[in-house]
Structure 1
Amino acid sequence: MVMKSNFYAGSRLFTPISDVVGLPIDKMNFLVCQIAALGLAIPFRTYLSPSKTSPKIRHCVELVTGLLLAGFCFGYQVLHLIVPSSASYAIMKFVNCRISHKVVFVVVLGYLSVAHIYRQIYDYGGYTLDITGPLMIMTQKLTSMAFSLSDGMLDDNTKLTEDQRNQAIRKLPGLLEFFSFLFCFHGIMCGPLCFYRDYIAFIEGTNYTPPKPKNGNDVKIQAEPPSPKGPVIEKLTIAAVCGLLMMFVVPYFPPERLTTREYLEETTFLQRSIFLLICGTLARCQYYFAWVSSDALNNAAGLGFSGYDEEGKEKWDLINNVDIYRLEMATSLKVNIDCWNKMTLIWLRRVVYDRSPRAYSTLTVFAVSAIWHGFYPGYYLTFGSAALCTVAARLVRRNVRGYFQSSPSLAFFYDCVTFMFTRIVNVYLAVPFLILELVPCLQLFWAFYAWVHFGSLGIIIFFMLIWPKFTKRKSPKLEEKTQ
């Protein structure tokens, strides 16, 4: 994408190189910062490890380096990270803990919303990198910290869930710890989200626990910081493949083609469906590239270690934002959603879903997620349609799946059918997220006769209104088990 506006506030130092390689200066600076952060992450993990350096020094390095990288890439716009974070700290410090988390949520999400609206005014439809990306991650960090701090200061925590108790923060962190968490150099550009308790464990080295000895082995295994070399190389390789696809293949399958009258008149419904499937699948490469490379960068710094599996093998998936294989092979919309932007899903569950009235929790999650992304109509079409399809998919699974579990062949047939529908529905719902504008998105839906929407509505009406008793009937397999 060519940069459409002149509002980019970052450094112009690498403009000559940018002109030679044909990469916009905003993307060039982002790439330079990520490479620089990767180069700094390795010595940070080895020479400034928790066993060799005090947490205070590690916090200082994280904060100073993160500010320098953000300033290089975004210029004066870094102020838009400092303002809401400082306001949130003041709120958490001086406002009653019973309401401080709600105030922080409203203030920070409101600040992000204003930034989104301003961005749409000066760069409508553009893809110029600006501070709204890091601000979205900071919104997650600030709100999750505020809720955890409120939980930790309650006199009676018996009403908290186990997860809320584990994430609870007993006292307000100092300014150094607070801003280090927000501006850590290996997460400031692209995340992924890391929660405060996990970040402090990484800084202090308490996240490194020894693997459990195998049965029959009484030898104690020493707890030493594991090396992320293998996972980092693997993730960088995946990111490189996605980057190459993004550069040389994705441009040949622009989703905007589906909204042009010429293309619609010259193609059949089947041809359009195949093109939609290809361009929607390839469009995920840009997200895979950003998330997997950022995960590798954090791992190189030592962040992301989550313990050992049953075989004693190290796991580096603490802040893994996407499970590519499970997502691409998903046989249900729920699995598809669960494997995509995983850290944001956890944030939404901890901050929104678990705190909302059960009857409105799902709707509230989709609404907050849409606002967090911005105010382009495409976001709301995607999330609104996804909410509709999720309800329909749940009804199908609850009432139909059991009839196909009586034999392996029927179960395999059911999985094949749901795999196919999941792939098609996924790209159908996701493309408005790329097109963004209202009229082209509606034209896209109409090019496919909005069959996903009408089909989902039909399923909901059938199972909830026409034949509601069907939902109470037991499937044949369940009836056999109860006899």
Structure 2
Amino acid sequence: MLLVFLHAFSTLKIPGCNFGDLSSSSCPPPLLKIWAHSDKGPSPSPYVATLRALVQAAFCMAMFLYLSPSHPLSWFIDPAYQEWGFWRKLSYQYMSGFTMRWKYYFIWSISEAAMIISGLGFSGWTESSPPKPKWDRAKVVDILGFELAKSSVLLPLVWNIQVSTWLRHYVYERLVKKGKKPGFFQLLATQTVSAVWHGLYPGYIIFFVQSALMIAGSRVIYQWEKAIPTNMALVKKAFAVMNFAYTLLVLNYSCVGFMVLSKHETLASYGSVYYIGTIIPIALIILGYIIPAKPARFKARKEQ
């Protein structure tokens, strides 16, 4: 009964759910696809995939319950927190964000299980031999992909995936003029829409503006990395590590606003580490204009 309720809740709440799939005669509903005859083999069973999602949900809730007592959000305005050193404050911001994310991983895993057991999570078959059923139509988050993201640009692809897909298709891409490349304006506008969709709290607004800066700064690092010749592998790896560290730092700095929601607590947290997560992205964006990345050129070998 709980899974049925969560299935209905998930379907209505997530704007990335395409109801056209359920009504279009040219695209049979996923639920019917499961039971339809297929040359791939017998009709797939959703039970194993559902159980996997439920086990993941249980693990996520256990992690949240274990970590949350030692990382309360109230510490950001506690006088004792202000007396900590710079690195300890940064590490606490990371652990607070890391802890809170398990709560979202839990509910998204539950909703994914509900969608899978209903049949709406079925997305087709793999190309392997023998083919295996895929149950990622309703996938909302890739936990490892998010926690180990090599670049901030990858974060929307693995976090709240259905909403991110909806925002990209209906906001971001529609703001790009024909024949032109998307820029910071399209990114900021998309993140602002996401902030309003979440709720008109100062913390949401600050976080999503921060996320636009974060992604733009990460793009600059990535462009510099691409411009490095392939024969300088060590330098390319150094830039890749830099992008990973940058993402880790700025993400967990920024997400405090998403968690505490109030302007006072958000700015108190940012100010406690000298606004490092705001200054670095802005500095990178400016440097991207001053030192634009140029494609690496290779001299072709002359045939002898």
**TM-score of the superposition, structure 2-length normalised?**
0.85
Deviation at 1:401, TM superposition (A): 4.1
**d(CA) in 1 for partners of 2:255, 2:70:** 18
Classify 1:406/1:337 alpha carbon distance in 2 versus 1 (closer, same or farther; 3 Å): farther
Contact (CA 8 Å) 1:202, 1:302: kept in 2 or not? no
Distance 1:291 1:321 in 2: 6
In structure 2, do the counterparts of structure 1 residues 454 and 210 end up closer, same or farther at CA, with 3 Å as the change threshold?
farther
**In structure 2, what is the Cα distance between the partners aligned to 1:204 and 1:263?**
52
The letter for the 1-side match of 2:102 is C
Aligned 1:121-200 pairs, distance under 5 A: 185=8, 187=10, 193-200=16-23
Note the 1:335-354 alignment, pairs <5 A.
335-354=154-173
1:434, CA displacement in angstroms? 0.5
**CA-CA distance at 1:454 after TM superposition:** 1.3
After superposition, residues 101-112 of structure 1 pair within 5 angstroms as none
> Does the 8 Å contact 2:30/2:123 carry over to 1?
no
Alignment partner of 1:420 is 2:239: no
1:156-305 to 2 correspondences below 5 Å: 185=8, 187=10, 193-200=16-23, 201-202=28-29, 205-206=32-33, 220-222=39-41, 224-265=42-83, 267-305=84-122
| Structure 1 position 250, deviation (Å) | 1.3
The structural deviation recorded for 1:249 is: 2.0
Count of matched residue pairs? 289
Map 1:299-338; keep pairs closer than 5 Å. Answer: 299-311=116-128, 312-338=131-157
Query: C-alpha deviations, 1:349-398, integer Å up to 9, x for none?
Result: 22212322446432321121111011110001101111112222212211
Q: Distance in 1 between matches of 2:57 and 2:15?
A: 15
Contact 2:218 2:247 in 1 (8 A): no
Tell me if 1:461 matches 2:280: no
Distance 2:15 2:60 in 1: 18
Does the CA-based 8 Å contact 2:30-2:121 persist in structure 1? no
Q: In the aligned structure 2, how far is the partner of 1:221 from the partner of 1:452?
A: 50
- Give unmatched runs, 5+ long, in structure 2: none
Aligned partner letter, 1:335 = L
Q: Against the structure 1 CA distance between its residues 413 and 361, is the aligned structure 2 distance closer, same or farther, given a 3 Å change threshold?
A: closer
**1: CA distance between counterparts of 2:62 and 2:13?**
19
Equivalent position amino acid for 1:428 in 2: Y
Higher-Rg member (1/2): 1
Pair 301,395 (structure 1): closer, same or farther in 2 beyond 3 Å: same
Deviations 1:62-100 (A, max 9, x none): xxxxxxx59xxxxxxxxxxxxxxxxxxxxxxxxxxxxxx
Change (3 A) 1:438 1:463: same
Q: Secondary structure at the match of 1:366?
A: helix
Gaps of at least 5 residues in structure 1 are: 1-35, 42-68, 71-183, 212-219
Q: Summarize deviations over 1:26-83 as a string: whole Å, max 9, x none.
A: xxxxxxxxxx233xx5xxxxxxxxxxxxxxxxxxxxxxxxxxx59xxxxxxxxxxxxx
Aligned mate of 1:449, from 267, 274, 291:
274
Question: What is the letter of the counterpart of residue 416 of structure 1?
Answer: V
Offset at 1:208?
6.2
1:383 and 2:208 correspond = yes
Q: Are the aligned partners of 2:229 and 2:297 in contact in 1 as well (CA < 8 Å)?
A: no
Partner of 1:402: 227
CA separation of 1:297/1:472 partners in 2, compared to 1, >3 Å: closer, same or farther? Answer: closer
Bigger drift between 184-193 and 308-317 goes to 184-193
Residue pair 2:14, 2:162 contacting (<8 A) in 1 also: no
**Normalised by the size of structure 1, how large is the TM-score?**
0.55
Contact residue 201 and residue 261 of structure 2 kept, 8 A: yes
Deviations 1:278-335 (A, max 9, x none): 1111110010001111101110111111111111121100120101111111110011
Instruction: Give the 3 Å change call, closer, same or farther, for CA 333–426 of structure 1 in structure 2.
Output: same
CA distance in 1, matches of 2:293, 2:103: 44
Say which structure, 1 or 2, has more relative contact order (CA 8 Å, 6+ apart).
Answer: 2
| Separation in 1, partners of 2:101, 2:149 | 15
SS state at 1:187 partner: helix
Which of 273-282 and 197-206 deviates more?
A: 197-206
CA distance in 1 between partners of 2:150 and 2:217 (Å): 15
Identity score, percent: 26
Which amino acid is the alignment partner of residue 291 of structure 1?
A: W
Q: Is the 8 A contact 2:249 2:277 kept in 1?
A: no
**1:395–1:463 CA contact under 8 A, matched in 2:** yes
Structure-2 separation of matches of 1:389 and 1:236: 33
